Amino acid sequence: MSIWVVQDRYRNEIYLTEERWEHILESRPELESLLDDFLETIRSGQRKQDALIPNKYRYFKQFDSLLPENNHLVVIVIFKTTVDEQGNYIPNNFVVTGWAKYIISKG
């Protein structure tokens, strides 16, 4: 099984498993050719923290190639920390889901 690991603009390591990617494609098959853009959304997209779940973040980035139906990719990431056998805290940040969406720019 594949795992893709990227760093966001804040140097957080975030991973996407093949299982999650296949789950996303089950309901959004139009994203199949957009894996690289999906990962780029995490690397360089904007990020917004969820108001109710503080360890949940929404990453989003504009891609003109998605027009005319959509113009952004949106990726949901959960940030967690686990403790290893030596008592060290290890980040465990992973993609939950994602989709394409048309977002109207404010401005």
Domain coordinates in residue numbering, the chain = 3-101
* Two tokens, residue 99: 């989709």
Alpha helices in the chain (DSSP H): 18-27, 35-44
Closest residue by Cα to residue 16 from 73, 69, 87, 83: 73
> What is the C-alpha separation between 103 and 100, in angstroms, rounded?
10
Instruction: Give, rounded to a whole angstrom, the gap between the first and last alpha carbons of the chain.
Output: 43
User: Do the Cβ atoms of 34 and 73 come closer than 8 Å?
Assistant: yes
Would the pTM of this model clear 0.85, i.e. be above it?
yes
Phi, psi (degrees; rounded to nearest 5) at 64: -65, -25
CA 102 from chain center: how many Å? 17
Q: What pLDDT score does 107 carry?
A: 67
Could you state, in chain order, the average pLDDT of each consecutive group of 10 residues for the chain (107 residues)? 96 98 97 97 98 98 95 98 94 98 87
